[in-house]
Structure 1
């Protein structure tokens, strides 16, 4: 078996898969919102770190789906509901924090030179962890992989689990340049004077959107039903 020959794994229509993955990764959602808000509030580095945290969370879902945990979430209403409410609570908590942030608390785009290296390191660790949790606590991501990836694996594939993992990794790795692009675009936008003056309202807008994503997740049904 040649791992570089993806057709030997039973993977089919790879160009279509890559195109669909690109379009899906460009679609705004909680992940994109977290990346852009991190870059707007801090800098491009924070946005990139946020994207890496989200990527790590995505790998968790790919592995879980391949190992059958995703199938458990799809089949078990209780398991799906528990993780759904945890994820919704986290998104809502993030939204409330942004809504209650004060304009003068330095969370806007203050002078980065005033932040010590140790504080910056802690901040970036928190940004990474937030990105990871934003993705990893959303059960609909695992179920998305269960629904999307098998369409590109032939029924008679000799190694379906390996094919699933390869496609999941390709999809996730393909999201990295897109996510970094969002981070760089948001950081560039943050350098505009009118954006710096509007950070208080941008926090409110991001907070309201996080709340919306959290409530939508909380009241969503198991997609498999």
Structure 2
């Protein structure tokens, strides 16, 4: 289906893109510092799942609507921005379990809640949909097989690399979470800092253009 040259070029470009810090890296690092390695890994997996959903949409042509319809783009954009702002405000208003320490979530909340939040954040980012719509077709060649399956293969490769990369990020920044828990004033303000980051991302999404 793909030549070795096409796949190697695709992988190299994707790895190069990962070296440029973006919302996925910021969200993963933030959740790792706030909730530990497991929260960071689940955030990364949620982002990867969102990317796969975008891949499916691009493969069946649904993402093209965002490229041609200003209304559809704005609906998705403001929905994503509103969700990020909601997460930010909730984080800023959330009370700490005890002085100096972030509130500890339940196991179910930290696992499924974090994973689900990351999926929504990624799915509701119209720039991600447009990225997949513009990026993946550069490596799809109809003469080499079914276009739909080529999209799926490229998307799965991207998702796999993304999951590996965000997991590495979560493991690498784990020590920051331990440091925050040891320094009381940082712990008291950790929710506020996380909230500011989410709100900043929400505003960035709200003001982005097609």
Normalising TM by the smaller chain, what interval?
Answer: 0.7 to 0.9
1:167 aligned to 2:154? Answer: yes
Q: Per-residue CA shift, 1:39-83, capped at 9, x if unaligned?
A: 212221121112111111111111011111111111111111111
Q: 1:154-189 CA deviation, whole Å, 9 max, x = no partner?
A: 364442222122111111111111100111122222
Match of 1:208 in 2: 196
Matched ranges for 1:64-143 at <5 A: 64-102=57-95, 104-106=96-98, 109=101, 119-143=106-130
TM (norm. structure 2) is: 0.87
Select which of 192, 197, 202 maps to 2:179.
192
**How far did residue 29 of structure 1 move?**
2.6
8 Å CA contact 1:189–1:195 kept in 2: the answer is no
- Assess, with a 3 A threshold, how the Cα gap between structure 1 residues 216 and 13 changes in structure 2: closer, same or farther: same
1:42–1:109 contact (8 Å) kept in structure 2: no
Are 2:22 and 1:29 aligned? yes
- 2:2 touches 2:144 (CA, 8 Å); kept in 1? no
Return 5+ residue gaps in structure 1 as ranges.
none
Q: Note if contact 2:34-2:190 (Cα within 8 Å) is conserved in structure 1.
A: no
* Residues in 1 aligned to 2:160 and 2:182: alpha-carbon distance in whole angstroms: 31
CA distance in 1, matches of 2:76, 2:11: 29
Whether the 8 Å contact between 1:70 and 1:143 is mirrored in structure 2 is yes
What is the TM-score of this pair, normalised by structure 1? 0.81
1:127–1:151 CA distance, 2 compared to 1 (3 A): same
